[in-house]
Amino acid sequence: MTTQHLEHTSHAHVHGPDCGHAEVPHGDHVDYAHDGHLHREHAGHYDECEADAHAAHETHEHRHGEGCGHDSVLHGDHVDYLHDGHRHAAHDGHWDDH
């Protein structure tokens, strides 16, 4: 799965370990949860870090939710759960791997 290059052009805030936003490990980089979406630094600017395809995590049997032990991050109109270096979101009876 690849990630779209969607530049967030009006982003003046600089993300980092002490910026106050949740750090989300994502493959070879770190995303920052900000205002319901995820930002990653890329070539001197920030991108919206969104996968360009649907990727079901077919073998994921753990049920995420309040008290499940994984950090939650608001992502658009739903909540993602940080699990093993990626994000899971409920979708049509299964978990997507974001």
- 1 lies in some domain: no
Whether the predicted pLDDT of 1 surpasses 50: no
Is 48 within the bounds of a domain? yes
pLDDT digits (tens, 9 = 90+) for 10-23: 667 787 888 888 88
Q: What is the pLDDT of residues 29-39, one digit of tens each?
A: 888 887 777 78
For every residue of 22-87, DSSP letters joined together read -EEEETTEEEEEETTEEEEEETTEEEE--BSS--EETT-----STTSSS-EEEETTEEEEEETTEE
Query: Minimum mean pLDDT among 17-31, 35-49, 50-64: which range?
Result: 50-64
Length of the chain: 98
Tell me the residue range of the domain where 73 lies: 6-97
DSSP 5: -
Average pLDDT on 64-88 reads 81
From residue 1, give the alpha-carbon distance in Å to each of 13, 53, 73, 74, 98: 28, 7, 21, 21, 9
Whether pTM exceeds 0.75: no
Assess if residue 14 is contained within a domain: yes
Over residues 37-62, mean pLDDT: 72
- Considering its fold, how many domains does the chain have in total? 1
Q: Is residue 43 part of a domain?
A: yes
